[in-house]
């Protein structure tokens, strides 16, 4: 590829249509038709219907968890858990996470305490956690990032030692295992996302996993009176119900999980081999898991070794119709309202800040073939080889 063939510099894009980063594993139309015909025949569309009940019981079996409470999305699941666990005061979480992790605390009147992360894995920095716990700390929220895990066993030991509660934002971790134990089985509760970009998709959706009967009863009542079972008293209720349409999609997606996970893994390996010799690009290996869903393809761009800063690499890919993303940017501690309410975190999270400027998420999942991945790797390799000329042409 010669310099003029980059789309950013005027050539035709490498891909005709934009390729987003998300999984987008949706089954073929005939399976939808059959599932949705059933919903219409039963005329039972929501309110903990037969498909929502079936999904919960299948997930309980698949994850090996005592209670699975399906919800309309993981964000409301996190809010419900904070309320049901009756947390007070402060909750420690990594600053390098999606807004919903911290926002769920704001919705429930809790103060976030931002912890830095490990520079290689992006997972919460275990060695810094104990120093952040004080008398007002009621819980730690671990975040299992990118098909990896934040060492939930070590977190369980730490939470026990300091007598604080522990739960997990496991939005990225459906199907992952730590020492052979499935995500969903750690801490007091875990929240998983079934958003369309996740490997288990309900279009929108999620679930809460717990083995605590009392907590499960409170969660069911907070979700809705439908499916509450024996209603226990709770102060706040919400609407976190999963519709039958969502449950139908999730049931099909659960059936497809082994094939979709295998496809992700093959794609991950294709990226790993295609980018192995590209200076300045390092692929993130799913950390701390014995089995990964390979849900995200995340790499770090080292501008000195690559020759271009991450954002310029993303612009270059975008022009080729490869919709790479920053993940997460600029760090939740730098977002409203936290940047104003908690200015003490501005310059004390060096690894979070560094990752926010270097991490780039690339497409993986249903919309890609191995040939596409080879082409994306080739674009990156050529961009690196011509970095000086590109930078000059773009007047960096």
In the complex, the residues that contact ligand PLP under the rule CB under 6 A are 73-75, 97-98, 100-101, 143, 169, 171-172, 193, 195, 206
> How near is the Cβ of 170 to ligand PLP at its closest, in Å?
8
Nearer to ligand PLP, 137 or 193 (CB): 193
- Whole-angstrom distance, CA of residue 325 vs CA of residue 347: 24
Q: Which is nearer to ligand PLP, 73 or 300 (CB)?
A: 73
Alpha-carbon distances, residue 383 vs 16, 274, 370 (angstroms): 19, 14, 20
Q: Which is nearer to ligand PLP, 95 or 270 (CB)?
A: 95
Diameter of the chain measured on Cα atoms = 68
Phi, psi (5° rounding) for residue 56?
-60, -40
To ligand PLP, the closest distance from the beta carbon of 44 in angstroms equals 24
Minimum distance from CB of 198 to ligand PLP (Å)?
Answer: 7
Q: What dihedral angle (degrees, nearest 10) is formed by the CA atoms of 99, 78, 138, 113?
A: 0
For ligand PLP, the closer of residues 334 and 375 by Cβ is: 334
Report, in Å, the least distance between residue 98 CB and ligand PLP. Answer: 3
For residue 151, which phi and psi values (nearest 5 degrees)? 55, 65
Contact 182, 175 (CB under 8 A): yes
**CB closer to ligand PLP out of 101 and 123:** 101
Helix (H, G, I), strand (E, B) or coil at 77: helix
SS (H, E, C) 320-386: CCECCEECCCCCHHHCCCHHHHCHHHCCCCHHHHHHHHHEEEECCCCCCCHHHHHHHHHHHHHHHHC
Nearest approach in angstroms of CB 361 to ligand PLP is 11
Cβ(219)–Cβ(84) under 8 Å?
yes
Whichever of 193 and 224 has its CB closer to ligand PLP, that residue is 193
CB of 251 to ligand PLP, least distance (A): 17
Q: Cα(164)–Cα(129) distance, rounded to whole angstroms? A: 12
Give the shortest CB-282-to-ligand PLP separation in angstroms: 21
Smaller CB separation from ligand PLP, 194 or 306: 194
Q: CA-CA distance, 80 to 389, in Å (whole number)?
A: 52
Cα angle 373, 378, 379 (rounded to 5 degrees) comes to 100
Minimum distance, C-beta of residue 142 to ligand PLP, in the bound complex (Å): 11
**Interhelix angle for 74-84 vs 99-107, to 10°?**
40
Distance of closest approach, residue 171 Cβ to ligand PLP, in angstroms: 4
69/74 with CB nearer ligand PLP = 74
**Cβ(270)–Cβ(374) under 8 Å?**
yes
Beta carbon of residue 139, minimum distance to ligand PLP (angstroms, whole number): 16
Q: Round to whole Å and give the CA distance between 342 and 119.
A: 23
If we measure between CA atoms, which residue out of 196, 197, 223 comes closest to residue 208? Answer: 223
Residue 185 near residue 33, CB atoms below 8 Å: no
Nearer to ligand PLP (CB atom), residue 240 or residue 280: 240
* Shorter beta-carbon distance to ligand PLP: residue 274 or 365: 365
């Amino acid at each position: 590829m010669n310099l003029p063939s980059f789309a950013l510099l005027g050539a035709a894009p490498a891909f005709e249509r934009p390729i987003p980063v998300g999984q987008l594993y949706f089954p073929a139309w005939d399976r939808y038709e059959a599932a949705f015909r059933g919903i219409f025949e039963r005329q039972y569309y929501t309110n903990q219907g037969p498909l929502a009940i079936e999904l919960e019981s299948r997930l309980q079996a698949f994850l090996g968890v005592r209670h699975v409470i399906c919800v309309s999305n993981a964000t409301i699941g996190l809010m419900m858990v904070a309320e049901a666990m009756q947390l007070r005061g402060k909750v420690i979480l990594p600053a390098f996470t999606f807004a919903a992790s911290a926002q769920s605390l704001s919705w429930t009147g809790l103060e976030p305490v931002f912890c830095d992360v490990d520079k290689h894995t992006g997972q919460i920095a275990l060695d810094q956690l104990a120093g952040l716990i004080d008398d007002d700390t009621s819980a730690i929220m671990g975040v299992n990032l990118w098909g990896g895990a934040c060492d939930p066993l070590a977190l369980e030991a730490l939470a026990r030692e300091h007598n604080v509660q522990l739960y997990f934002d496991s939005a990225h971790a459906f199907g992952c295992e730590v020492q052979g134990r499935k995500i969903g089985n750690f801490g007091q509760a875990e929240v998983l996302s079934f958003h369309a970009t996740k490997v288990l998709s309900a279009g929108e959706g999620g679930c809460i996993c717990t083995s605590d009967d009392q907590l499960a009863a409170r969660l069911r009542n907070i979700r809705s009176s439908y499916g509450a079972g024996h209603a226990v008293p709770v102060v706040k209720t919400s609407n976190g119900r999963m519709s039958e349409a969502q449950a139908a999609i999730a049931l099909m997606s659960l059936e497809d999980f082994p094939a979709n996970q295998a496809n992700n893994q093959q794609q991950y390996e294709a990226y790993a081999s295609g980018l192995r010799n590209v200076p300045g690009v390092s692929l993130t290996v799913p950390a701390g898991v014995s089995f990964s869903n390979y849900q995200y393809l995340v790499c770090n761009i080292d501008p000195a070794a690559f020759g271009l800063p991450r954002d310029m690499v993303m612009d270059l890919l975008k022009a080729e119709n490869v919709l790479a993303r920053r993940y997460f940017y600029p760090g939740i501690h730098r977002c409203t309202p936290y940047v104003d309410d908690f200015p003490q975190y501005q310059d004390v999270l060096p690894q979070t800040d560094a990752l926010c400027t270097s991490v780039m998420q690339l497409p993986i999942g249903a919309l890609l073939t191995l040939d596409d991945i080879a082409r994306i790797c080739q674009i990156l390799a050529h961009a690196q080889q011509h970095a000086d000329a590109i930078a000059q042409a773009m007047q960096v």
